[in-house]
Copies of this chain bind each other. A is one copy, B any other.
């Protein structure tokens, strides 16, 4: 059996121009990153306002297990299947972090014959979205410390800062640090931490922002800490939203790639589902809805977390109206949820499987 990587490497990809024209995206809105990746200007969405939306299908799953559940694979496969039977379909997914990929997990672009490609580009730097978000995030961090160092006009209390630093890297040594050492030239020491870029508040903001104006407004409202007087300090107080938005200007544009069968796919935005809302950018989903009959999207973690956030938060905020929900429940995940141990997961175990259906039932009822 071929590995995911081997399958990916054997795949014959269309040029991205061909994928774009298959859904009639005009060339002027296309910004190429090599032959198989392009950003589509988020401003294109406003030109599409009068078109009707396609149907939105949410893919979610039963309780997550360490073996993975197959949401991405199902989403990609479903989009390809709808396409083959004559519908125009689109799949919209989250971008993977580089950091964790270098570590434990495999990529986050599906598997087997149900992948989005080009795998390597998507899994490495891709179109630089995560890098830009990291830099905008850390620019704010640097400005906060510089403000405190240089007279601290806003009276920011260094002991009440909520804004960490970020890096797209699973680096435990940076989880709890002290910054600002080395004497007064480097400012005031304080306890700080690095979070992974997917956990940056800016990642969540990017996924919800309609355009640069909206982005700047949302950035301006970020609360970075409190003053000595107990009042909230916002990005607006520091007046950094403009510089941050400049660094983020290309990040709002959805990244167009394709499935292994050439179905168009947006892979755009990657907020964590536990601390944020866990779905790709609204812009990508909304643009895909204008460009196709069916859009398959997925929400992170199990239905209780990801689907709930999608249905109760993302949909109202973005004006989305899903037509169907797919609840993925692989035999393997059912058995694990039913009490089977991971090492015996390849053995037949009907009892664990039956127990696992309890989990499925509750998720089903919730939806």
Contacts and interface: CB of A to CB of B under 8 A. Distances in A.
Chain A at the B interface: mostly helix, strand, loop or mixed? mixed
B186 A173 contact: yes
Given A125-B132, A177-B178, A190-B188, A171 B31 contact: no
A142 B194 CA distance: 12
A149 interface: yes
Interface string A27-48: 0000111110000000000000
A176 B191 CA distance: 12
Nearest to A246: B124
Contact of A34 (B32, B174, B177): B32
Interface of A: 31-35, 98-99, 102, 124-125, 128, 131-132, 135, 138-139, 141-142, 145-146, 149, 151, 157-160, 165, 167-192, 228, 243, 246-247, 249-250
Given A176-B186, A181-B177, A169 B139 contact: yes
A300 to B, nearest CB: 23
Given A32-B33, A33-B32, A250 B172 contact: no
A329 to B, nearest CB: 33
Nearest to A181: B176
B169 A138 contact: yes
A80 to B, nearest CB: 27
Contacts of A182: 175-176
A159 B188 contact: yes
A171 B128 contact: no
Given A167-B138, A182-B175, A186-B175, A31 B34 contact: yes
Contacts of A131: 125, 128, 131, 135
A141 to B, nearest CB: 7
B190 A124 contact: no
Report how many copies the assembly holds. 4
Nearest to A148: B173
Contact of A170 (B33, B142, B250): B142
Given A128-B128, A247-B124, A183 B173 contact: no
B169 A142 contact: yes
Contact of A178 (B34, B99, B178, B187): B178
A342 to B, nearest CB: 22
22 contacts: A32-B32, A32-B33, A102-B247, A125-B128, A125-B131, A125-B132, A131-B131, A135-B168, A135-B169, A138-B167, A139-B169, A142-B170, A145-B172, A159-B187, A160-B184, A165-B174, A172-B185, A173-B187, A175-B186, A176-B186, A177-B177, A189-B191
Nearest to A31: B34
Contact of A183 (B132, B141, B191, B243): B191
Nearest to A141: B171
Contacts of A142: 169-174
A171 B146 CA distance: 8
A98 B169 contact: no
A257 B356 CA distance: 58
Given A35-B31, A128-B128, A243-B102, A173 B177 contact: no
Most B CB contacts (10 A, CB to CB) among A131, A145, A165, A184 go to A131
Contacts of A124: 246-247, 249
A187 to B, nearest CB: 5
